[in-house]
Amino acid sequence: MGSKGSVLVGMSGGVDSSVTAAVLKHAGYDVIGITMQIWHRSTTFENPGAMQGCCTIDAVDDARRVASRLDIPYYVPNFREEFSDAVVDDFATEYMQGRTPNPCVRCNQFVRFAGLIRRADELGIDFVATGHYARVEWDEDRAEYVLKKAVDPAKDQSYMLHTLKQHHLRRILFPLGGMAKTETRTLAREFQLPVADKPDSQEICFVAGKNYKEFLRQHVGEIERPGPIVDSRGRIVGEHDGIHAFTIGQRKGLGISSPEPRYVLELRPKDNTVVVGDRSDAMVPALNCSRLSFTGSKPTGTFPASIKIRYRTPDRPGEVELTSADSAFVEFEKPVWGVAPGQLAVFYDGDRVIGGGTIDAGIAAA
């Protein structure tokens, strides 16, 4: 047993999780590696070699080579059913309803950390760890663990982790949260890891080549359902093949001609309509969200926060009003662009994650 206890490290075959395992072993932990088998590439596309990310056979091979280099135990348990039910089916359903889901958040919430902690309990392991860029600290004043942004703002992944709760945070280690990506690469070379120069994956792991249409066609069958594209006044300006191919704020690939740029303002699944307009029309001062989750003690009433509405957008100052036990009204100090139902609104107090919810609708100015 390592002097600091045992830790189960989720290994994706990438440089971040590999360095996580190496750093923890070097720090004196007894490290065990695990890769969750969540998606079998032979069940997706005719060209399985096009798949990338944390679910491929190549990724498992890379993780196994890293574990061998570090001389740590390594396992590949089957999580296909949990992942399919909680993430893949939800992803397809949301897209077909004109929403823009974030499957990585849902995976973290329902599969990754629940699965890691369950396996750790079964094996009598003290902690779990992943290669996410975020920080977990004990806050004496709040008397609870807090989830914070990573030191490197370009790599911060706290948005993706806002559904973590106290029983998760007390067991989780994020050793990369205080590092820049350049430091991670340097450590990978110092540890002589075979993935030191492996590029980062930018794709959703179960959607090869970012081809959402092909994924949806194979997962749910026929997806084309033509309908009208209308402007903000209701005038028909074009036709679409299915609202699943659009997201709020989208400008390219609309299939319409216009002297001015047009953006998707609204998707109406009930009447199968796509609404477009000027960029200014896509600016909204408020939103409604539900399916709330908080990392610690739940706030009450109304509270100030900075709000992030997409992973790669900056926080925007505003105010959050809890309108029920599981819903909130968010009002921004200034209107924001691209509020998309299905994405997440995450609330921050400085660099501390308060919690967040799933966006139901942007609220236009009265």
Domain boundary (210, 233, 260) is at 210
Do residue 83 and residue 231 come from a single domain?
A: no
205 catalytically annotated = yes
What pLDDT, in 10s, does the model give residues 248-269?
988 888 989 888 889 999 999 8
Check which CATH number belongs to the domain holding 58 and give it.
Answer: 3.40.50.620
Q: What is the pLDDT of residue 225?
A: 84
Task: Write down the catalytic residue from 54, 55, 107, 289.
Answer: 107
Query: Is residue 34 in a domain?
Result: yes
| Least confident stretch, 148-162, 255-269, 343-357 | 255-269
Q: DSSP strand E in 115-161: where?
A: 127-129, 134-139, 144-149
pLDDT surpassing 70 at residue 301: yes
Query: Is residue 158 in a domain?
Result: no
Confidence grade of residue 237 (pLDDT, cut at 50, 70, 90): very high
Do residue 54 and residue 12 come from a single domain?
A: yes
Phi/psi region, residue 112 (left: phi>0; alpha: psi -120 to 50; beta: rest), is: alpha
H-type alpha helices, 71-220 = 80-83, 89-96, 103-107, 113-123, 166-169, 181-190, 212-220
Do residue 199 and residue 273 come from a single domain?
A: no
| Least confident stretch, 216-225, 251-260, 274-283 | 216-225
What is the rounded average pLDDT of the residues 234-257?
89
Q: What is the pLDDT of residue 59?
A: 84
Do residue 180 and residue 266 come from a single domain?
A: no
Do residue 117 and residue 254 come from a single domain?
A: no
Counting the structural domains of the chain, the total is: 2
Residue with the larger pLDDT of the pair 55 and 123: 123
pLDDT surpassing 50 at residue 169: yes
- Decide: 184 and 19 in contact? Cβ < 8 Å: yes
Do residue 122 and residue 235 come from a single domain?
A: no
Query: Is residue 239 in a domain?
Result: yes
Mean pLDDT of the chain, nearest integer? 90
What pLDDT, in 10s, does the model give residues 47-92?
444 444 555 677 889 999 999 999 999 999 999 889 988 998 888 8
Q: What is the pLDDT of residue 210?
A: 64
Q: In what order do the strands lie in the sheet with 273-277?
A: 236-240, 227-231, 273-277, 263-268
Q: What is the pLDDT of residue 242?
A: 85
Query: Is residue 99 in a domain?
Result: yes
Q: What is the pLDDT of residue 41?
A: 47
Confidence grade of residue 124 (pLDDT, cut at 50, 70, 90): very high
Do residue 116 and residue 230 come from a single domain?
A: no
Do residue 113 and residue 191 come from a single domain?
A: yes
Query: Is residue 66 in a domain?
Result: yes
Q: What is the pLDDT of residue 202?
A: 67
Do residue 36 and residue 120 come from a single domain?
A: yes
Q: What is the pLDDT of residue 61?
A: 92
Cα–Cα–Cα angle for 172, 349, 303, rounded to 5 degrees = 125
Confidence grade of residue 238 (pLDDT, cut at 50, 70, 90): very high
The closest alpha carbon to 346, from 148, 143, 171, 138, belongs to 148
Query: Is residue 299 in a domain?
Result: no
Do residue 196 and residue 230 come from a single domain?
A: no
Do residue 30 and residue 120 come from a single domain?
A: yes
Query: Is residue 58 in a domain?
Result: yes
Helix (H, G, I), strand (E, B) or coil at 181: helix
Q: How deeply is 64 buried, as exposed, middle or buried, from its count of CB atoms within 10 A (0-12, 13-18, 19+)? A: middle
Check which CATH number belongs to the domain holding 229 and give it.
Answer: 2.30.30.280
The residue range of the domain holding 103 is 6-131+175-210
pLDDT surpassing 60 at residue 42: no
Q: What is the pLDDT of residue 51?
A: 44
Do residue 247 and residue 187 come from a single domain?
A: no
pLDDT surpassing 50 at residue 203: yes
